[in-house]
Amino acid sequence: MLNIAIQKPSNLPVFPTIPLIKKGYAGQGSKYLSDSMVKQRALVAATMALPLVCIVLGGNTVQEVLKQAEQATAEGGELIEVRFDKLYVQPVNVTVQNIDGVDETSTEYVAREISEVNIDEAIKQLKKGIDKPVLFTCRSKKEGGGFPDDEEARIGVLEQAIVSGVSWIDIEIGIEPKARASLLEAAKASGVTVVASYHDLESTPSSDDIVEQLEANSDAGDIIKLCYHTRHHDDALSIFEAGWKLRNSDNSYSLMGQGIGGDWPRIHAPLLGQSMVFSTLPTEKPDFTLTDKGLINVRDLMIAWEMLGDSEE
């Protein structure tokens, strides 16, 4: 873990853990925390309050998502993000010969037609098969997702998810205002917790601009999620500095980067007063590319937080 030396003021506040508004897709889930994760989290929480941990799933079929959800349950994550937009892309292995005449195989993602996904049936299967609290996300292409370029259809998917009784839903800040207001109204009426998200796929602004963006959208949802493309360590430090400036804020937020150093705000989230942290599932073999992507798996995240907790003693 990369250590950043920060002189922490003596009056640093205790950061509250954000409670789950609902438990499970339809009401259950907390009993499935693994014993090891519960003990590890309790150990860390004894020295500092922790953000909510959301494990992101990336399956391209309902069956893959359900299998990953079982693993996420075993890992003890408190919240599972279902990336419904990933059902609209299909991984395809492509083999080509390099300049030396050797075959090289890579995976490319091919778009599916909207009609290929039975939305009602897919949501029913997910609701039936996942007992953990679910954050339902259907990300647009312009913000890094896989849903086809049909915004009206995507809004319809989000509406169906809200009606289905999902616990949490991601509603991007950039959605057309009238459509977004309608989604927020429906979410509020159904008691669904809203993550208001924004993803910049090209750059990271200054720390002051990040703070200004968050405060300008403080009423856009229950938790404000801002994610930026970190091209170098200076970008990562801008996000980290913004989090430090916001640590006494009344806003519930989650800041992160995708790219070099993007995992710094995740690793140090308890010190920054973050409300939620997004993590990945562990893999059978170590994935050393995660750091370059600004990501961290949930096991390594708990280890990092345990180390931060030890430093508090």
In tens, the pLDDT along 201-228 reads: 999 999 999 999 999 999 999 999 999 9
Residues facing residue 90 across a β-bridge: 110
- With beta carbons less than 8 A apart as the criterion, state whether 94 and 106 touch: yes
Q: Output the pLDDT for position 6.
A: 35
In the structure, what pLDDT confidence band is assigned to residue 192 with cuts at 50, 70 and 90?
very high
- Lowest mean pLDDT across 173-182, 285-294, 298-307: 285-294
More confident residue, 54 or 46: 54
Q: Decide if pLDDT at 29 tops 80.
A: no
Q: State the average pLDDT over residues 271-291.
A: 90
Question: Per residue in 139-160, pLDDT tens?
Answer: 999 999 999 999 999 999 999 9
What's the average model confidence in pLDDT over 232-253? 96
Q: What is the pLDDT of residue 129?
A: 95
Structural domains in the chain? 30-88+115-312 (3.20.20.70)
Residue 81's alpha-carbon distances to 33, 59, 117, 135, 215, in angstroms, are 16, 11, 19, 4, 25
pLDDT at 46: 54
Share above pLDDT 90 across residues of the chain, in percent, rounded to a whole number: 70
Total-model pTM: 0.83
Q: Is the pLDDT of residue 10 over 50?
A: no
pLDDT for 38 equals: 54
Residue environment code for 272-304, b if the CB has 16+ CB neighbours within 10 A, otherwise e = bbbbbbbbbbeeeeeeeebbebbbbbbbbbbbb
What tens digit of pLDDT does each residue of 37-49 get?
555 555 555 556 7
| Per-residue model confidence (pLDDT) at position 40 | 54
User: Within 13 Å of residue 4, how many CA atoms lie on the same side as its CB?
Assistant: 18
